[in-house]
């Protein structure tokens, strides 16, 4: 512990101040951070005053103790000792180093007659008679430092109540430090999340505006080429461009939907009475048929009357499910679309033949960006089924999948109609 000015010092406190190695910058920063953390605990000054008042000792401190340094983090000094928060001592000149190694309190009522410490260098160096130091240990077992007090006069600090008070205060300081650390990490995480949210919003703006504008220009150019009926090659090129434009627009929509969901706003839905859902679903099927004339796509749409839903989003669910069936189904097996009102639910299913989905893959199939290992390059972003499941969930429904060699693969969406 430090020297006590005022009563025949053997060594001045200045002579024991530690000069930190300039190369150890990280250690200095960490210690400064710990000193600041103790300074933010408003109860510490009151605890140190209570210690001095209850023990009659003139100096009490919270110290950060490492292998090489003793650093005062907070001080109550009524004997003009002179050590301020941030002041450092060579740890080998203190008794806190012994408390640190043993993880036990060191308690001395009268050093000059103590059978263990009467000849110890620290009491003799600093003319200390009474001394108590209790380790501050985090709940995970990590050592922080010590809560200690000294005085050039004897004091009864070995009393069980005094030791219990120090132990309770040391534990309180450790818990408060942990709370401070959690709060600091939470604030850092919040700042990081805000920055990430801003980047996501910028990303959405880029997708929604900067990419759609040139894509619209490409689409317009494709439409002009398609009208050149006297030049078949240009018409063919125009149709290719239109198909690519539709595909790019779909990819942009998928990424926008994913970004909205991940930002916490959820899938945007506009639910209202849809009087023509059957024909809207038929339009989607006809579009896929036109794009894949060699496939056998069958439909059984039995929806009579209005259905309360977001019609455009339900079309998107069917489009995504059909796209998945076209990509992964067997080309020589039919794709069957069924839609019907069963009781108070709308049941929409898409079934395709081909190799069954492995059991391990079924658990991952609705995850974003997930694609089977055997998928062909350029087949999409792996967002279609995820977005379909989010749309169905937004309607309060469920999207399930079953797959076996005999029955094929079936995706079934079940949604409440009211």
Instruction: Using the predicted structure, report yes or no on whether residue 416 has a pLDDT greater than 60.
Output: yes
| Pairing verdict, β 335-342 and 297-302 | parallel
For 135-167, write each residue's pLDDT tens digit.
Answer: 999 999 999 999 999 999 999 999 999 999 999
Q: What is the mean pLDDT of residues 337-351?
A: 94
Percent share of the chain, pLDDT over 90: 48
For 201-229, write each residue's pLDDT tens digit.
Answer: 676 666 666 677 778 888 888 888 888 88
Coil, strand or helix: which one is 230?
A: coil
Element (H, E) at 181: helix 160-205
Using the CB atoms, write b or e for 225-236: b if 16+ within 10 Å: bbeeeeeeeeee
For residue 13, the model assigns a pLDDT of 38
What is the DSSP secondary structure assignment for residue 376, as one 8-state letter? P
| Pairing verdict, β 59-65 and 143-151 | antiparallel
Interatomic CA distance for residues 111 and 4, integer angstroms: 14
Q: What is the mean pLDDT of residues 61-84?
A: 91
Element (H, E) at 65: strand 59-65
Interatomic CA distance for residues 43 and 58, integer angstroms: 19
Instruction: Using the predicted structure, report yes or no on whether residue 418 has a pLDDT greater than 80.
Output: no
Coil, strand or helix: which one is 21?
A: coil
- CB count within 10 Å of CB 274 equals 21
- DSSP state string for 302-366: E--S-EEE-HHHHHHHHHHHHHHHHHHS-TTS-EEEEEEEETTEEEEEEEE-SSPPPHHHHTTTT
Instruction: Using the predicted structure, report yes or no on whether residue 183 has a pLDDT greater than 50.
Output: yes
In angstroms, the Cα distances linking 124 to 111, 146, 277 are 9, 21, 93
Q: What is the mean pLDDT of residues 399-405?
A: 93
Q: Which of 27-41, 201-215, 284-298 is predicted with the least confidence, judged by mean pLDDT?
A: 201-215
Instruction: Using the predicted structure, report yes or no on whether residue 257 has a pLDDT greater than 80.
Output: no
* Proportion of the chain in helix, strand, coil states, percent, rounded to 5: 45, 20, 35
Q: Which band of pLDDT confidence, cut at 50, 70 and 90, is reported for residue 304? A: confident
Report residue 246 as tokens.
Answer: 């539709």
Coil, strand or helix: which one is 76?
A: strand
For residue 380, the model assigns a pLDDT of 57
Coil, strand or helix: which one is 277?
A: helix
In angstroms, the Cα distances linking 72 to 7, 19, 34, 57, 284 are 22, 14, 10, 17, 74
């Amino acid at each position: 512990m430090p020297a006590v000015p005022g009563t025949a010092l053997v060594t001045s406190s200045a002579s024991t101040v530690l000069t930190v190695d300039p190369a150890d910058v990280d250690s200095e920063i960490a210690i400064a951070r710990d000193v600041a953390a103790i300074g933010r605990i408003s109860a510490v000054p009151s605890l140190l005053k209570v210690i001095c008042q209850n023990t009659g000792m003139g100096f009490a401190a919270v110290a950060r103790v490492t292998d090489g340094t003793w650093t005062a983090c907070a001080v109550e000094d009524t004997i003009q000792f002179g050590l301020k928060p941030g002041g450092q001592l060579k740890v080998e000149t203190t008794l806190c180093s012994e408390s640190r190694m043993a993880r036990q309190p060191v308690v001395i009522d009268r050093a000059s007659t103590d059978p263990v410490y009467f000849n110890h260098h620290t009491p003799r160096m600093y003319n200390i008679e009474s001394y108590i130091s209790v380790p501050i240990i985090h709940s995970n077992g990590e050592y922080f430092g010590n809560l200690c007090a000294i005085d050039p006069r004897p004091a009864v600090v070995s009393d069980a109540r005094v030791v219990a008070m120090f132990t309770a205060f040391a534990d309180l300081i450790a818990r408060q430090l942990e709370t401070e650390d959690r709060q600091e990490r939470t604030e850092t995480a919040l700042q990081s999340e805000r920055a990430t949210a801003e980047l996501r919003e910028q990303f959405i703006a880029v997708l929604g505006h900067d990419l759609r504008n040139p894509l619209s220009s490409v689409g317009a150019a494709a439409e002009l080429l398609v009208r050149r009926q006297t030049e078949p090659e240009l018409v063919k090129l125009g149709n290719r461009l239109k198909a690519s434009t539709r595909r790019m627009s779909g990819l942009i929509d998928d990424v926008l939907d994913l970004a909205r969901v991940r930002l916490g706003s959820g899938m945007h839905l506009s639910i209202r009475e849809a009087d023509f859902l059957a024909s809207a679903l038929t339009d989607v099927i006809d579009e896929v048929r036109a794009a894949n004339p060699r496939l056998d796509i069958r439909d059984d749409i039995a929806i009579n009357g209005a259905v309360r839903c977001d019609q455009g989003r339900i079309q998107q669910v069917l489009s995504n499910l059909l796209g998945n069936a076209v990509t992964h189904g067997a080309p020589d097996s039919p794709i069957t679309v069924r839609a019907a009102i069963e009781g108070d639910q709308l049941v929409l299913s898409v079934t395709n033949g081909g190799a069954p989905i492995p059991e391990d893959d079924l658990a991952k199939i609705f995850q974003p960006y997930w694609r089977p290992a055997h998928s062909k390059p350029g087949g999409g972003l792996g967002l279609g089924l995820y977005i379909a499941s989010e749309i169905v969930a937004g309607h309060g429904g469920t999207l399930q999948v079953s797959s076996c060699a005999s029955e094929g693969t079936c995706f079934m969406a079940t949604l409440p109609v009211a």
